[in-house]
Amino acid sequence: MMEWVERSDAFLQADVWLHDIFVRLQRGNVEANMSALYQGLHLLRRKCDREEWHVFCLESTRAHPLRKLLHLCPYSRHGYERPRGYAGDADLIDYVYSQRKTEDPLIGQSIYRFLYQQTGPQCVRERRMILAREIDTIAERVHKPRVLSIACGHLREAERSRAVAERRVGLFLAMDQDTSSLEEVARQHPGDLVRPVCDNVRSIVLGRSVFEPQDLIYSAGLYDYLSQNVAQRLTRRLFEMLRPGGRLVIANFALSTPDAGYLEAFMDWWLVYRDEEQMRDLAAEIDPAQISRMNLFRDSVGHVIYLELERH
């Protein structure tokens, strides 16, 4: 890992350092060199202010030959190219759920293997299991509950839910604005238990789209892309759609996430990271008297924060 001494010298040092990583990666020992890159980007991101970091990501890393080398990894390339037109699509998340073979069997596969093992992907896989348990828990508490997933992607957590497999859920609404994602949901869940719904967050925030009262509403990765004001309004709208005793669960990556440097520099993947205070503040527009329980917790890795709200 490179030690950045003075911020004024950081970019010059960074260019030299990136070239060194580029040369060493081609020679082998991918894990050690990717680890050095990961740690160095994390440290540089902390040293720079937001504007400086943006300039570095948009100018230095995009033009550097290291980017093309890293994009032999299909996960990195997919994130950067955004084939569906937006960041963090469901196909990208599928790269995190299970490892795939790459077109480049050597360095591309090795880079992908390294990234797959990092804390961010670990958190995404654990998030899938946490949400599957939430579905199972509500099905134990409520007979044939109604469940709503906001920005559902491929709804992979439902594939890990015993309640879904045993048809103990009354109706599972899978909402997303991406029709390709909804087509995959329909393929994985034929029948009438899971109902794909094509809609968008803006319609919910503006009150144009309202769903019937739900027992469980959750959002896996949507809030990672929302400003605080929009996130607060959405939280209020979703909370209003809960039945008495219903639960709203929101996941968001935490400020301390060490993967952010690589995601932003070489995948052009920019999330909104939050701390506990900001997560708690998502409920600011909800009447406190309507909340019977509020709970915050982090996953076992410590880099995703969960907000749970239960309605009186």
**pLDDT tens-digit series, residues 172-214:** 999 999 999 999 999 999 999 999 999 999 999 999 999 999 9
Q: 84 vs 79, 92, 116, 180, 195, CA distance in Å?
A: 10, 10, 21, 9, 22
Answer CATH for 121-311 from 1.10.490.10, 3.30.930.10, 3.40.50.150, 3.40.50.2000: 3.40.50.150
The answer to whether residues 87 and 268 touch, using CB atoms and an 8 Å cutoff, is: yes
Mean pLDDT for the stretch of residues 138-156: 99
- For residue 219, give both structure tokens: 């959002």
Q: Of 17, 247, 36, 14, whose CA–CA distance to 136 is shortest? A: 247
Indicate the pLDDT class of residue 9, thresholds 50, 70 and 90.
Answer: low
**pLDDT tens-digit series, residues 263-312:** 999 999 999 999 999 999 999 999 999 999 999 999 999 999 999 999 99
The answer to whether residues 254 and 274 touch, using CB atoms and an 8 Å cutoff, is: yes
Which residue bears the tokens 């409520």?
142
**pLDDT tens-digit series, residues 38-79:** 999 999 999 889 999 999 999 899 999 999 999 999 999 999
Judged against a pLDDT cut of 80, whether residue 1 lies above it is answered with no
Any idea where the domains of the chain sit in the sequence? 7-116, 121-311
The answer to whether residues 307 and 282 touch, using CB atoms and an 8 Å cutoff, is: yes
Which residue bears the tokens 């569906």?
84
